[in-house]
């Protein structure tokens, strides 16, 4: 296989792109700082305001955006392979609906704002488990098509719950949950980044570890079983790890749409058919895209921000339509 060197170049290009995006994210903001000031402030030197801007505002945003983008893209890449469906992505499989229900219910139940992410994570995990339970009730093996349908059904159910909660909760408190659901890394803190990074590194490593299984699953259930893979267990494992990774992103930054769907397709043609390469490349590309999307979100409508989820979706929709044309 002559893919190795080409993949090395791909990783290098993606890593450089991510680095450039991060530099842009660190260098651009309402307060103008020269590259030297940016560098010194990152190191804790110079004027106290500049140091605080770099260390407590811009750097956490860039890092959290990178982590969230990487997690969503890796999750999407793994799910598309596992489900053998190019449109599979974590949000379609109940994560977004469940997270939204959890967030809205937490707020409607009078929880303080700090607990909204925990509510969202709980909702996302519950939805993921519910989807899995429904899919398994349909038959012994979790057929990918049944899993997707279960995701759609759970999503519709979640919408109904959200609408009821919105209709009955006071507008004032629901506003919190809604803004938050539109996606943002504006409130990024190092404490939040620390736990998300720990969680993300473990989940992402697991996805990379089980990537060869996903390669086999992508051949089809019968072929995979013929190759000695326990299709049931392998499929469930990939689905749960990928979905929980996406669920954590919702707790960290709200709903950042289309990254999980689009980014794997962006890299797939160049990264080859091995899922370890696709997942890793998707992680780098996802990080780059969300860093740039956050940069757009906070500069395009200054002094206000655009919702991060809206920026990624605006960028994602044209590509998605293009992709649909190719499938026809």
* 3-state SS string for 215-281: HHHCCCHHHHHHCCCCHHHHHHHHHHHHHHHHHHHHHHHCCCCCHHHHHHHHHHHHHCCCHHHHHHH
Binding of residue 86 to another protein (CB under 8 A): no
Q: How far apart are CA 165 and CA 105, in angstroms?
A: 7
Helix (H), strand (E) at residue 162 = helix 144-168
- Those residues with Cβ within 8 angstroms of residue 252's Cβ, 6 or more apart along the chain or in another chain: 64, 67, 68, 117, 185, 192, 196
Mapping DSSP to helix (H, G, I), strand (E, B) and coil, where does residue 104 land? helix
Q: Which is nearer to another protein, 90 or 286 (CB)?
A: 90
Q: Which is nearer to another protein, 31 or 209 (CB)?
A: 31
Helix (H), strand (E) at residue 79 = helix 59-83
Q: How far apart are CA 121 and CA 192, in angstroms?
A: 14
Choosing from 13, 118, 146, 166, the residue that interacts with another protein (CB under 8 A) is: 166
Q: Which is nearer to another protein, 115 or 225 (CB)?
A: 115
Choosing from 16, 24, 163, 202, the residue that interacts with another protein (CB under 8 A) is: 163
- Those residues with Cβ within 8 angstroms of residue 296's Cβ, 6 or more apart along the chain or in another chain: 306, 311
Choosing from 17, 111, 129, 152, the residue that interacts with another protein (CB under 8 A) is: 152
In the complex, the smallest distance separating the C-beta of residue 161 from another protein, rounded to whole angstroms, is: 11
Q: Which is nearer to another protein, 185 or 280 (CB)?
A: 185
Binding of residue 92 to another protein (CB under 8 A): yes
The number of CA neighbours under 13 Å toward the Cβ of 40 is 11
Q: Which of residues 230-289 bind another protein (CB under 8 A)?
A: 255, 257, 261
Q: 């792109």: which residue's tokens?
A: 17
x/- letters, 202..221, toward another protein (CB under 8 A)? --------------------
Choosing from 143, 268, 298, 311, the residue that interacts with another protein (CB under 8 A) is: 298
Q: Which is nearer to another protein, 290 or 313 (CB)?
A: 313
x/- letters, 176..205, toward another protein (CB under 8 A)? x-xxxxx-x-xx-xx---------------
Q: How far apart are CA 13 and CA 267, in angstroms?
A: 12
Q: How far apart are CA 225 and CA 229, in angstroms?
A: 5
Q: What angle is formed at CA 318 by the lines to CA 314 and CA 323, rounded to 5 degrees?
A: 135
Choosing from 16, 156, 164, 223, the residue that interacts with another protein (CB under 8 A) is: 156
Choosing from 62, 66, 124, 158, the residue that interacts with another protein (CB under 8 A) is: 158
Q: Which of residues 14-53 bind another protein (CB under 8 A)?
A: 29-31, 48-49, 52-53
In the complex, the smallest distance separating the C-beta of residue 315 from another protein, rounded to whole angstroms, is: 14
Q: Which of residues 102-121 bind another protein (CB under 8 A)?
A: 113
Please work out the total of residues on this chain that contact another protein, with binding judged by CB under 8 A.
Answer: 57
Q: How far apart are CA 285 and CA 313, in angstroms?
A: 16
Applying CB under 8 A, which residues contact another protein? 29-31, 48-49, 52-53, 56-58, 60, 87, 89, 91-92, 96-97, 100, 113, 148, 151-152, 155-156, 158-159, 162-163, 166, 170-171, 174-176, 178-182, 184, 186-187, 189-190, 255, 257, 261, 298, 302-305, 307, 309-310, 313, 320
């Amino acid at each position: 296989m002559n893919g190795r060197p080409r993949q090395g170049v791909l990783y290098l290009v993606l890593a450089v792109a991510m680095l450039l995006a991060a530099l842009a994210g660190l260098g651009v903001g309402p307060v103008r700082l020269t590259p030297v000031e940016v560098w010194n402030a990152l190191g804790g030197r110079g004027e106290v305001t500049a140091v605080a801007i770099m260390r407590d505002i811009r750097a956490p945003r860039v890092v959290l955006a990178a982590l969230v983008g990487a997690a969503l893209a890796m999750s999407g890449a793994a799910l598309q392979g596992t489900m053998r469906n190019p449109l599979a992505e974590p949000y379609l499989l109940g994560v977004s609906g469940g997270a939204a229900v959890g967030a809205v219910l937490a707020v409607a139940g009078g929880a303080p704002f700090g607990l909204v992410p925990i509510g969202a994570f709980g909702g996302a995990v519950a939805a993921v488990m519910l989807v899995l339970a429904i899919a398994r009730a349909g038959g012994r093996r979790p057929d990918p098509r049944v899993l997707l349908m279960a995701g759609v059904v759970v999503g519709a159910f979640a919408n109904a719950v959200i609408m009821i909660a919105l209709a009955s909760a006071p507008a004032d408190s629901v506003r919190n949950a809604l803004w938050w659901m539109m996606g943002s890394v504006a409130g990024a803190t190092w404490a939040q980044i620390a736990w998300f990074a720990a969680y993300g590194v473990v989940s992402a490593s697991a996805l990379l570890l089980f990537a060869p299984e996903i390669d086999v699953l992508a051949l089809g259930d019968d072929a995979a079983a013929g190759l000695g893979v326990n299709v049931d267990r392998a499929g469930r494992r990939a689905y749960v790890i990928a979905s929980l990774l996406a669920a954590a992103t919702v707790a960290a930054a709200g709903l950042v749409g289309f990254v999980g769907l689009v980014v794997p397709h962006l890299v797939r043609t160049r990264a080859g058919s091995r899922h370890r390469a696709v997942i890793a490349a998707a992680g780098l590309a996802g990080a780059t895209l969300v860093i740039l999307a956050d940069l757009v979100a906070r500069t395009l409508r200054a002094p206000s921000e655009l919702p991060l989820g809206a920026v990624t979706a605006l960028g994602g929709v044209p590509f998605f339509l293009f992709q649909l044309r190719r499938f026809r």
